Amino acid sequence: MTLKKPLKESLLNRWSILLLVASIQAANYYFYDAISPLKRTLETEFGFTSSDFGLFVSFYSIPNTFFLMAVLGGIILDRLGIRLTGSLFIGMMAVGGIITAYGSSQTYSNGGPFYGLMSSFLTAYSPELKMMLLGRFFFGLGAETSIVVISKIIVKWFKGKELALALGTKIGIARLGSFAAFNFSPYLKETASHWSMAVWFAALLLGIAFLGFLFYSFFDRKLDSQLAETTQATQKTRFSLIDFKKLMTNPSFIYVTLLCVTFYSAVFPFQSFSADFFLNKFSLSQQASGRIASYLSLGTMAFTPLFGFVVDKYGRSATLMMCGSLLLILIHLTFAFTMINPVIPMIFLGVAFSLVPAAMWPSVAKIVDEKRIGTAFGAMYSIQNLGLWAFPLMIGIVLDKSNPSITPEVIATGNYAYDYTWALLMLAGLGILGLIFSVLLKREDLKSGYGLELPSNVQKAS
C-alpha cells in the first residue's frame, strides 16, 4: 500500500498554514498595542496617570508571572495537544478583549452593568480602569499560551526544513498587527462615533482569530492522522518533573531565557509608551506619534524573515543575538540624549528586534527536544512576562516621580510634557544585561555542542 505524504511535505501547505496561524498572532499583537497610542486619551477621559497606564500594560503579564500560566499552558499543550489547548486559550484571549472594550465604552461609563460594583472598592482607581484591568488580565491569560501554541505549530510543520525562516516570517507577520494598531487605532479614535470603537475593533479581530484557529484545527487533525499512519504510533508524553528540572538546570536554556526576559523587557514596555514618548518629546499629534511608533513593527516585518533566512543558511545565532543586544543599548541612549529624527532610531530598533528573536527561537528548538518544546516555550514566556509585568509599572512610576510638576490638575489642562530620560536609561541597562547573557550563551554553546552557530538543518552534537 502506498501511503500519502504528510501535508507538511508540501511547500504550499506548510506556508499556507504559517500564514493562517501567524495572522492569529497578529490579531493578538494588534489588541496588545491598540491602546498604547491612546494614553493621552485615557488620561483626559478617565483621569489615568502614567502609573495607571503602566499598571494597565503590566496587568497582561500577571497571570503568566504569578500563576505561571504560560508554563502550565506549555505543559497542557504537551499533554493535551494543539487543538484543545489552542481553542481554550485563544478563546480566553477573545473574552478578555471583549471585557476590555466594554470597560472603555460609553455604555459602561454611563452606569452599565457592573459599573456600580467596580465603583464600590479601591476607589482610588476609576471604575473604567478596574474593568479594563479585568479584561487585560483575561487577555493575558490566553494570549501568552496562544503564542506558545502557535510556536509549537510552526515547529511541527517546519522542523528539519526552513524552520528559522518560518519562525522569522511568523514574527514578521505578527508584527503587522502592531504596525496596524499604532496607525489605525488613533485614526479610529478621531473618526469613529466614540473613541472606544478603536478598542472594540481590536476585540473583533480577536474573535476572528478564534474562528481562524478552529479552521486550522481541521488541518492539524488530518496531519496527526497522516503522521500516525507513517510511524509506529503517536503518543502524548506525560509531564515529568525530572524533565522539567533538567530543562531549568540546562545552562544554555538558562542563558537564552535570561536574554529573552531582559531583551523583551527593554522593547515591549518601551513600545507601549513609545507613542506617548514621541508626543511628549517631539510635540507630535497622537496620529503622528502612533505612526512613528509603528516603524518598530515595520522594521521587524521586513528584517525578521531576512535574518531567519540567514540563520537557516549560515547559522551564527549566538552572534546575531549579541549584535541585537548591543544595538538595543545604543538606540535607547540615542532616544535619551539626542533630538535626532525619531524615525531613524525606531527603524534601527526594528532591526535589533529582528536580530534577536530570529536567532533566539530557532535556538530553543536545538537546545530542547521537540516533545518538550511546549514546556520550554511556556517556561520562557512566563519568565519573560516577569519583565513585561515589572517594567511597564516601573516606567510609569519613574515618569511620575521624575516629573513631579505634572499633577492631576495639570493633566486636566492637557498642557504638559513628560521627560522620559530616566526611564530610557533604565531600559538601556536591560540591554546591557542582555548583551552579557548573549555572550555567556555563545561561550556555553562551545562547551555544550548544541550548534547554535551552525545552520538550522545541522543537528546538535550527539
Query: What's the pLDDT score for residue 74?
Result: 78
Q: What is the CATH number of the domain that holds 212?
A: 1.20.1250.20
- Number of domains into which the chain is organized: 1
- On whether residue 225 sits in a domain, the answer given is no
Q: Is the pLDDT of residue 207 over 50?
A: yes
Stretch 400-406: mean pLDDT? 93
Q: Is the pLDDT of residue 145 over 60?
A: yes
Structural domain that includes position 249 = 14-220+236-448
pTM: 0.82
Q: Is the pLDDT of residue 461 over 50?
A: no
Q: Is the pLDDT of residue 323 over 60?
A: yes
Query: What's the pLDDT score for residue 240?
Result: 63
Q: Is the pLDDT of residue 239 over 60?
A: no
Query: What's the pLDDT score for residue 342?
Result: 94
- On whether residue 107 sits in a domain, the answer given is yes
Q: Is the pLDDT of residue 2 over 60?
A: no
Q: What percent of the chain has a predicted confidence (pLDDT) above 70?
A: 94
Query: What's the pLDDT score for residue 241?
Result: 67
Give residue 68's pLDDT band: very low, low, confident or very high (50, 70, 90). confident
Query: What's the pLDDT score for residue 459?
Result: 52
Cell numbers for 273: 509608551
- On whether residue 1 sits in a domain, the answer given is no
